[in-house]
Structure 1
Amino acid sequence: MTRLFIVEGPPCSGKSSTAKYIGERLSKMGRRVSCVDEGTGEHPADYENSAYVTGGQLASFPPGLREMVRSSGEARVDGYVLSLSKFGGAALQRLLPYKIYDALPWEAEMPVMLDKWERFAEGAEDHTVHVFNCVLLQNPMCETMMRFNFPIEQSLEYIGKIAQAIASLDPAVVYLKDNDIKGSVQAASGGRPGWLESVIKYHEEGAYGRSIGAAGFDGYIACLNERQRRELEILEKLEIKSLVLEDPGKDWAGAYRELGQFIRT
């Protein structure tokens, strides 16, 4: 029986609303549900606003900060993972170069993130269904593809390791395929002040964006279209139950009917 649903898709495709719908349907079916949206705080299977500092790196910190890291961080792999929300001022500035997803080299970041997935799966309660979004495809692709410009084979290798780590939860992926990403982003961006500018900059400055000369809004959309293409290709190759909803935004009622049937299987 599925104990983990993950909703994926490009930005502005309706992932958060769909994850909420899945959680509500499961609750009505009598299942105990833990629904965690992206960016809502500490995530049980992913790192948000966190840093990772190895023991060797910590030795170079000022004694006071060194003690703060040891007392507030989690000892993981060969160092400490800590929430940056617990720090401010000079201490925060000292830790930003070690931020997960934004600053760490891949060889340091990858084992820490896999460790998080493995610990989540091992500790997941038998009678709880978890509902997440973005964490299986979007976040790994933002790293392996957008930030580092790795080939799709390397992205698949890493995502495949995550799939293996959570196999005991009989996971299921719901992918919201958007054939008009540009239109969806344009329609939704007005309600997110400053968001579009920041994501355009992120994609322009990433290794993949630089490799294709991505510039401005159209460059951002080009990155997203290719990311969606790769994500769907990877999803087909994973040994994981999945449902691809084609342009659900055109008919949410119909999409949710199809999704309801998928949840019951």
Structure 2
Amino acid sequence: MNTKLILVEGIPGSGKTSTAEYISSYLNRKNIANELFKEGNLDHPADYESTACLSKDEFREIQSQLRIDKRLFSNYTTNKEDYYLIEYGKLYHDNKINISDQILNQLAESDVYNLPPAEHSRLVKDKWSSFAKAAATQEQVNIFECCFLQNPLTTMMAYHNTSKDYIIKHVKDLEQIISELNPLLILLEAKNIEEQFDRVKKERSEEWLNFVIDYVTNQSYGQENNLDGYSGLIEFYQNLAELELNIFSKLKMRKILIKDPHSNWEQNYQKINSFLKKAAKVNK
């Protein structure tokens, strides 16, 4: 197979996870080695999940508060030239480490996704570069959901309220970084975003819905555009989906747009099959 990366994108509830799982199963049937990295994977090779970025002084301050073996803490710490990356999600899930909620909250406040746009973009590009270099030597296809379009657009729009031009440039830079992997992009486009979220809120927890509403309406973008509640969430994702399609049209990688994916999954999977066979030269 002449690709080492398949990207599955779309707004929440569009069917990214099901589609990514289907692609992995499809490649397994073709005896093509692959690995699926879902959203939230703490070992994601190209995305930061629950990872803090601290200056040297901030790191020393956190260390001074520790009441655990610092060697255990160091297992989840990467020392760069002028900063430290702390995988606090893994710290939280390590049963051998009893780390205080106070420190975890401090680390969460310094999450990579909370950094100023330029710093965040730089770190993200660095990680994608490291991934691309490693993936080029591997004999497998990596399947990612969310992290190429959905996560960057949501963070840069909702949290930072950066310009569309800035976001487009960020994604175009990522495209250049992964170009040698001959990536494929599958974008799932909702026919009606409000209907999609009406369905999603019945399938997911109230806690999830409230978190998303809070994130997209009470940050910089939501405040500037007077977004509020469920209607504000719908308006945000309508704008995000429009930008997503704009970026999709500008990308040079091989790609396919699946419109109204929930209308007929069997038919859409056949479209994806044909796309993979043609674009990645998968044998029938």
Q: TM-score range by the shorter chain?
A: over 0.9
Superposition deviation, residue 110 in structure 1: 1.9
Q: Which residue of 1 aligns with 2:116?
A: 105
Q: Which moves more between the two structures, 105-114 or 174-183?
A: 105-114
Distance 1:21 1:95, change over 3 A: same
SS of residue matched to 1:190: helix
2:269 is the alignment partner of 1:256: yes
The within-5 A match list for 1:1-265 is 1-63=2-64, 65=66, 67=70, 70-76=74-80, 78-85=82-89, 86-87=91-92, 88-89=99-100, 90-101=102-113, 103-124=114-135, 125-193=137-205, 194-265=207-278
Following TM superposition, the consecutive aligned residue runs of length 4 or more in structure 1 with deviations greater than 6 angstroms are: none
Mark the runs of 5 or more structure 2 residues left unpaired by the alignment.
93-98, 279-284
Deviation, 1:81, is: 1.2
- Cα deviation per residue 1:207-233 (whole Å; 9 max; x = unaligned)? 111122111111101100110110110
Moved more, 89-98 or 146-155: 89-98
What amino acid maps onto 2:239 in structure 1?
E
Whole-Å separation in 2 of the counterparts to 1:220 and 1:77: 39
Looking at structure 2, the residues matched to 67 and 107 of structure 1 have their Cα atoms a distance apart, in angstroms, of: 31
Distance in 1 of aligned mates of 2:25 and 2:62: 46
Q: 1:232 to 1:77 in 2, by over 3 A?
A: farther
Whether the aligned pair in 2 keeps the contact of 1:97 and 1:104 (CA below 8 Å) is no
Measured after TM superposition, the shift of residue 255 of structure 1 is: 0.6
Distance 1:132 1:78 in 2: 29
| Whole-angstrom CA distance in 2 between matches of 1:190 and 1:40 | 24
Using the aligned pairs only, state the percent identity: 28
CA RMSD of aligned residues (A): 1.8
Letter of the 1:137 counterpart: L
Q: CA deviation at 1:27?
A: 1.5
Greater shift in the superposed pair: 48-57 or 236-245: 48-57
Please state how far the C-alpha of 1:56 moved relative to its aligned partner: 3.8
Residue by residue over 1:159-179, the C-alpha shift from the partner in whole angstroms, topping out at 9 and shown as x without a partner, is: 111111111110111000002
Name the amino acid aligned to 1:19: A
Shift of 1:64: 5.5
Cα displacement string for residues 157-200 of structure 1 (whole angstroms, at most 9, x for unaligned residues): 11111111111110111000002111111112122111111101
Deviations 1:17-67 (A, max 9, x none): 000111111121221000111013321110111111122432444535495
Q: Return the alpha-carbon distance in structure 2 between the equivalents of residues 77 and 11 of structure 1.
A: 36
Letter aligned with residue 176 of structure 2: Q
Q: CA deviation at 1:123?
A: 0.7
Q: For 2:236 and 2:274, how far apart are their aligned partners in 1?
A: 33
Q: 1:77 to 1:139 in 2, by over 3 A?
A: farther
- Counterpart CA distance in 1 for 2:117 and 2:74 is 23
Aligned equivalents of 1:76, 1:255: Cα separation in 2: 44
- What is the one-letter code of the residue matched to 1:84? Y
User: With structure 2 as the length reference, what TM-score do the two structures score?
Assistant: 0.87
In the superposition, relative to structure 1, how do residues 76 and 27 fare at CA in structure 2: closer, same or farther (>3 Å)? farther
> Aligned partner of 1:120: which letter?
F
Q: How many residues align?
A: 264
Separation of aligned partners in 2, 1:218 and 1:171: 35
User: Distance in 2 between the 1:177 and 1:61 partners?
Assistant: 43
SS state at 1:41 partner: coil
Secondary structure at the residue paired with 2:227? Answer: coil
Check whether the contact 1:26–1:32 (CA below 8 A) recurs between aligned residues: yes
Kept in 1: contact 2:153–2:240 (CA 8 A): yes
Aligned with 1:186: secondary structure?
helix
